[in-house]
Chains A and B, each alone.
Chain A
Amino acid sequence: MADALALPAPAAMRRRGFGEAMAALSLAGPAMALMVLFLVGPLVVVVLLSATDYQLGARSLSYVGLANYAEMFADRVFRKSLENTLIYVAIVVPASVALGLGAALLIEAGTSLRAFYRAVYFLPVMATLIAMAIVWEFMLHPTLGLINLALREIGVEGYNWLQDRRTALFTLCGIGVWQSVGFNMVLFMAGLTAIPGELYEAAAVDGARTGLDRFRTVTWPMLGPVTLFVVVITAIRSFQVFDTVQVMTKGGPNRATEVLLYTMYSEGFSFFRTGYAAAVTVVFLVFVLALSLLKTWVLNRRVHYA
Chain B
Amino acid sequence: MTTVALAPRVAEGARGRVTIRGLTKSFGATRVLRGVDLDIADGEFVTVLGPSGCGKSTLMRIIAGLERQDGGSVAIGGRAVDALRPDQRDIAMVFQSYALYPHLTVRDNIALPLRMRRLTFAQRLPLVGRLVPGVRPTERAIDEAVRRVAAVLQIEPLLARKPGQLSGGQKQRVAVGRAMVREPRVFLMDEPLSNLDAELRVHMRAEIAELHRALATTFIYVTHDQAEAMTMSDRVVVMMDGRPLQVAPPARIYDDPEDIRVARFVGSPRINVLPAAATGRGSLDMRGLELPFDADLAAGTAVQAAFRPGMATAVRGSDPSGLAGVLRHRENLGSDLFLHVALPGIEAPVVVRVDPTAVADFPVGEAVSVRVPPAHALVFDAAGARLRPRASAAMRRHG
Contacts and interface: CB of A to CB of B under 8 A. Distances in A.
Interface of A: 196, 198-199, 201-202, 204-209, 212-213, 216-218, 221-222, 224, 305-306
A212 B99 contact: no
B95 A224 contact: no
B164 interface: yes
Contacts of A224: 103
Contact of B86 (A196, A204, A216): A204
A212 B121 contact: yes
Nearest to A198: B99
A306 B162 CA distance: 10
Given A198-B95, A201-B95, A306-B164, A213 B121 contact: yes
B54 interface: no
Nearest to A218: B101
A88 B178 CA distance: 46
Secondary structure class of chain A's binding surface, majority of residues: helix
Given A196-B99, A217-B112, A224-B103, A204 B85 contact: yes
A221 B103 CA distance: 6
Contacts of B65: 204-205
A222 B66 CA distance: 21
Nearest to A197: B99
B64 interface: yes
Interface string B75-108: 0000000000111000111011101111110000
A212 B120 CA distance: 12
B95 A305 contact: no
Given A204-B66, A206-B87, A213-B121, A305 B116 contact: no
Contact of B116 (A196, A198, A213, A218): A213
Contacts of A213: 116, 121
Contacts of B117: 207
Given A217-B112, A305-B162, A306-B164, A205 B97 contact: no
Contacts of A216: 124
Nearest first, the 7 closest Cβ-Cβ pairs linking A and B are A207-B116, A202-B99, A221-B103, A305-B102, A198-B99, A207-B87, A206-B113
B102 to A, nearest CB: 4
B337 to A, nearest CB: 43
A212 B104 CA distance: 18
B66 A208 contact: no
A302 B290 CA distance: 75
A204 B91 CA distance: 11
Contacts of A202: 93, 95, 99-101, 178
Max chain B Cβ within 10 angstroms of own Cβ: one of A196, A198, A207, A209: A207
B116 A201 contact: no
A206 B99 CA distance: 11
B99 A208 contact: no
